[in-house]
C-alpha cells in the first residue's frame, strides 16, 4: 500500500481517464493546520465517500503541504514533495521525505499501518507554512528586576507569535483530534497558549537576569524569540513536532506602581544635573511670579504673599543656586577657564526686610543716665546729670585724634 509519482504529462491526456478520482487539499487558509482531501474530479467510483481514496486515484500536492494517506487512523504513506501521486495498493510505501530527511521515516515507523489489507483509505494534508498571527496577552503582570532602576518592576505584554510544524507525522499523532476534517489553530491553541505564556514569563525573567533594561524589552522581539526557542522549542519539537517561529511584541505596559518608580527615578536623574536643577529653580521662581500676578485677590495681594514666601524660602533658593554653580564649576574640564563668580545678590529676605535709617553724621547717639532715663543730649532730661565722658582716645569732627576733653586742633569739646 503506498503512492507513486504520476507522470505529469499524462494529466489531461488519455492516461488521465484511467484514474478513478483526483484529490486535493480542502480549505487551507493561513490559520489552518490540518485538513482532509476533497475530490475535485470524480471517476468511475461513484458510490464512494468524498474522502475515500480508491486504488489508482491521483492526489495533487501543492507547495508547503504535507500529504498523508491514512487507513484506519494509521498512516499508509506520505509525501513532503509537491507533485502528482498515484495510489497503488500493491506497492510498498514510497516515503517521499522531501526537506525533512530521515526524521519523518523514524516517526512513520512508530505510527505506520500494520500491513493489513486496506479498507478505508483517506487522504489528509498538514500545512507546512508558518502559522502566523496567534494572539497572546499576559493575564497578570510579570515581575522584572531592572538593574538600572534597582527595583522590582512589573510589566504586561501583548502581541502575536507564529509556529511552524517541523515533524508533521508526530504533529498528526499527538496534536490533531481524531475524526476531524479540518482543524484551525484556534481549536488547539488554548493548551499551547498557556504553555507559551509560561515560557514567555521564563524568557522575560531570563532577559532580566541578563541585565536588559525593561524599556528595551519591546524592541527585543528577535532576542525574545531566541529565549523562547531555548525555553519551549525543544519540548514542543520532541513532544508535538512544532516550534516557535517568531514572537512579535505589540505593546509593553507597566503597572501603576512601576510607572511611579520609573518616573521618580527619571526625575531624580534629571535633577542630578546642575544645569537642569538651576533651570528648575529659576523656572519655579518665574512660575511663582506669574501666579502672583494672576492672583484672584489682586496682584498686590499675590506679590505680598510671594514676598512672605520668599522670606521663608529665599535663603534656600540662594543656597541651592550657589550649590548648583559650584557643582557646574567642579564639572568643568581641567585647564578650561573657570567662569567668574557672579556678585552675590541680596537674598529675598534681606531685600524685603524693613530698612532702619542710620543716624546722621552730626547727630548724637543715645546714652542712659544713672537714673535710668534714656537721653540724646549732653544732660539728662530727668535729673540734669551731665552725659558721662567715655575714656580713651576720640576723633574730632575735624579728623584730629585726641585724649583730652577738648580738641587740640579746633578746640571743640569731646563728644
Q: Which tens digits make up the pLDDT trace of 353-373?
A: 444 444 444 456 788 888 888
pTM over 0.75: no
**Closest alpha carbon to 239 in 177, 170, 193:** 170
CB 244 within 8 A of CB 228: yes
**Overall average pLDDT of the 59-75 stretch:** 90
Q: Are 247 and 221 in contact (CB under 8 A)?
A: yes
Instruction: Please report the domains of the chain, with CATH numbers, ordered by start residue.
Output: 2-127 (no CATH), 131-259 (3.30.479.30)
Residue among 138, 244, 249 nearest 197 (CA): 138
Cβ atoms within 10 Å of 49's Cβ, excluding its own: 10
Local structure of 211: helix, strand or coil: coil
Q: What average pLDDT does the segment 63-68 reach?
A: 94
The bridge status of strand 22-25 relative to strand 58-61 is parallel
Picking from 199-213, 257-271, 380-394, which range would have the lowest pLDDT averaged per residue? Answer: 257-271
Side-chain half-sphere CA neighbours of 30 within 13 A:
5
What backbone torsions phi and psi does residue 121 show, to the nearest 5 degrees?
-80, 135
Residue 53 has pLDDT above 60, yes or no: yes
Residue whose entry in the numeric block shows the C-alpha cell 497572546? 136
Cα 115 to Cα 96: distance, rounded to the nearest angstrom: 19
pLDDT digits (tens, 9 = 90+) for 111-123: 665 555 556 788 9
Question: Rounded to whole angstroms, how far apart are CA atoms 49 and 26?
Answer: 15
Question: Where do we find the cell 493548551?
Answer: 191
Of 164, 124, 136, the closest CA to residue 30 belongs to 164
Rounded distance, CA 108 to CA 77, Å? 8
Please give the Cα distance from 45 to 158 (Å, whole number): 52
Beta strands in 72-189, from DSSP E residues, in sequence order: 74-79, 83-88, 121-127, 131-137, 142-146, 151-165, 182-184
Element (H, E) at 401: strand 401-402
Q: What is the pLDDT of residue 242?
A: 92
Closest CA to 324 of 284, 352, 266, 265: 284
CA distance 124 to 153: 48
SS3 354: coil
pLDDT digits (tens, 9 = 90+) for 283-325: 666 666 666 556 555 555 555 555 555 554 455 555 656 666 6
Amino acid at each position: 500500500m503506498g503512492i507513486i509519482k504520476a507522470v505529469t504529462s499524462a494529466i489531461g491526456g488519455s492516461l488521465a481517464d484511467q484514474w478513478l478520482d483526483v484529490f486535493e487539499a480542502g480549505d487551507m487558509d493561513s490559520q489552518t493546520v490540518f485538513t482532509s482531501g476533497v475530490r475535485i474530479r470524480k471517476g468511475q467510483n461513484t458510490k464512494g465517500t468524498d474522502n475515500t481514496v480508491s486504488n489508482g486515484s491521483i492526489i495533487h500536492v501543492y507547495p508547503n503541504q504535507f500529504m498523508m494517506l491514512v487507513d484506519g487512523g494509521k498512516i499508509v504513506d506520505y509525501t513532503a514533495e509537491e507533485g502528482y501521486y498515484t495510489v497503488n495498493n500493491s506497492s510498498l510505501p514510497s516515503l517521499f521525505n522531501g526537506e525533512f530527511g530521515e526524521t519523518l521515516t523514524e516517526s512513520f515507523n512508530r505510527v505506520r499501518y500494520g500491513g493489513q489489507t486496506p479498507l478505508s483509505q483517506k487522504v489528509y494534508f498538514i500545512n507546512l507554512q508558518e502559522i502566523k498571527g496567534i494572539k497572546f496577552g499576559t493575564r497578570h503582570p510579570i515581575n522584572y528586576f531592572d538593574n538600572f532602576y534597582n527595583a522590582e518592576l512589573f510589566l504586561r505584554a501583548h502581541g502575536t507569535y507564529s509556529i511552524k510544524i517541523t515533524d508533521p507525522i508526530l504533529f498528526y499523532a499527538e496534536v490533531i483530534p481524531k475524526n476531524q476534517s479540518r482543524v484551525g489553530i484556534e481549536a488547539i491553541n488554548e493548551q499551547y497558549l498557556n504553555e507559551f505564556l509560561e515560557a514567555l514569563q521564563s524568557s522575560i525573567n531570563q532577559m532580566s537576569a541578563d541585565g536588559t533594561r525593561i524599556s528595551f524589552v519591546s524592541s527585543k522581539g528577535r532576542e525574545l524569540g531566541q529565549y523562547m526557542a531555548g525555553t519551549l522549542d525543544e519540548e514542543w519539537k520532541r513532544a508535538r513536532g512544532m516550534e516557535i517561529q517568531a514572537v512579535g511584541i505589540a505593546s509593553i505596559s507597566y503597572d501603576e506602581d512601576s510607572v511611579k518608580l520609573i518616573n521618580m527615578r527619571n526625575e531624580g536623574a534629571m535633577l542630578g544635573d546642575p544645569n537642569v536643577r538651576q533651570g528648575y529653580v529659576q523656572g519655579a521662581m518665574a512660575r511663582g511670579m506669574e501666579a502672583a500676578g494672576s492672583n484672584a485677590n489682586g496682584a498686590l495681594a499675590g506679590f505680598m504673599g510671594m514676598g512672605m514666601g520668599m522670606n521663608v524660602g529665599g535663603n534656600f533658593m540662594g543656597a541651592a543656586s550657589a550649590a548648583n554653580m559650584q557643582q557646574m564649576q567642579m564639572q568643568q574640564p581641567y585647564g578650561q577657564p573657570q567662569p567668574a563668580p557672579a556678585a552675590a545678590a541680596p537674598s529675598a529676605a534681606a531685600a524685603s526686610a524693613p530698612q532702619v535709617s542710620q543716624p546722621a553724621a552730626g547727630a548724637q547717639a543715645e546714652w542712659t543716665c544713672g537714673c535710668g532715663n534714656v537721653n540724646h543730649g549732653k544732660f539728662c532730661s530727668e535729673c540734669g546729670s551731665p552725659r558721662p565722658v567715655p575714656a580713651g582716645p576720640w576723633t574730632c569732627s575735624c579728623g584730629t585724634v585726641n585724649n583730652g576733653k577738648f580738641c587740640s586742633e579746633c578746640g571743640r569739646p569731646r563728644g
